Amino acid sequence: MQSTNDVSLMTSLGLKSNVTTASADKTFYYHRGLETYNSSTPILVLVHGYPQTWRLLIPLLPSTIPLFIPDLPGYGRSSPLPGPHDKRSTGTSLLTTLSSLLPPSSSPIPIILTGHDRGARICHRLAVDASSLPSNLNFAIRGTVLLDIVPTLIQWQSCINPLVNMGSFHWSFLANVEVATAMIKAQGGDVWVRMCLDRWLGRSPSGLARFKENDAVEVYAESFKRESVIRASCDDYRAGAMEDSSLQEEDQKAGRKVDIDVLCVFSKGYLGGRYDVKRVWSEWMGKGMLEVHGIEGGVGHFVAEEDPEETAKAVSEFYERHV
């Protein structure tokens, strides 16, 4: 989010905002409960999507849960990464920032990841890498919640279906960074975002009303007027087509799967209309347990904003099972 009012809105929810340069990039983030953190309670890391925020979910989560809520590199107020925006590099950058905010600990610090859309893809990558994080990241990932995605490789492979390809045209378009950046600039980043939101939202009147609260559409549109945001988000998709998909293909061939618990919350009318979500994710699970939770009622892609109550309930219950 980026506007004159978005920080005030988020801090009114009991969050604090800050910027750090602990990694090679500048990361803007919100947080709660980290200044007095004692390493006994899992930190809930909320990683947003394209574009998406947690403004409606936060008030519904238990106030005792410590929170870390970064802007992804290149999105919002965070600077782009100096290199590619692949999900392993992005996830490492976010956890490096979180590590810099916490006191040294003799034992791994427990965290639970929750991500939507592009953020969920970062969470998926970190979930696969959970047992082999860089030595400077002293974290124990106890579980992850993935909102409305299937694995990146599956998404690309499904584009062989003409109807899926038509609905997901932005994947291949945005992955062509120079072409997409120039064309979106010419159209207007704000115009582009409004069009995308209209395509991805559901048709539930109450869901649409919830999504549009706090001038959310204006906030998202304003952020994408900046070329740096357009370019970084395009490189996010380019990495999805290249590094991320290649690594996932290697993972599957080598039997590297998810050995931590996963909850996938999805829209039955959006993602669930294209994929058998439970069957798809089952093929990517190792030792971890898989749960799926489909949301009905005409909700679209933005489950945390179109139905924050049901999403928050699912996230909170998963969190409590992994404390």
Amino acid identity of residue 245, one-letter, is S
Each residue's pLDDT tens digit in the chain (323 positions)? 444 479 999 999 999 999 998 766 799 999 999 999 988 899 999 999 999 999 999 999 999 999 999 999 999 999 999 999 999 999 999 999 999 999 999 999 999 999 999 999 999 999 999 999 999 999 999 999 999 999 999 999 999 999 999 999 999 999 999 999 999 999 999 999 999 999 999 999 999 999 999 999 999 999 999 999 999 999 999 999 999 999 999 999 999 999 999 999 999 999 999 999 999 999 999 999 999 999 999 999 999 999 999 999 999 999 999 99
The CATH number of the structural domain formed by 6-321 is 3.40.50.1820
Whether the Cβ atoms of residue 39 and residue 107 lie closer than 8 Å to each other: yes
| Tokens standing for residue 209 | 């009303």
Nearest to 308 by CA among 102, 56, 100: 56
Residue 321, token pair as written in the block: 């099972």
Q: Where are the domains of the chain?
A: 6-321
Tokens found for residue 161: 């279906």
Distance (Å, whole) CA 76 – CA 314: 27
In sequence order, the 6+-apart residues with CB closer than 8 A to the CB of 268 are: 294, 295, 296, 299
Taking the C-alpha atoms of residue 192 and residue 199, their distance in angstroms, rounded to an integer, is 11
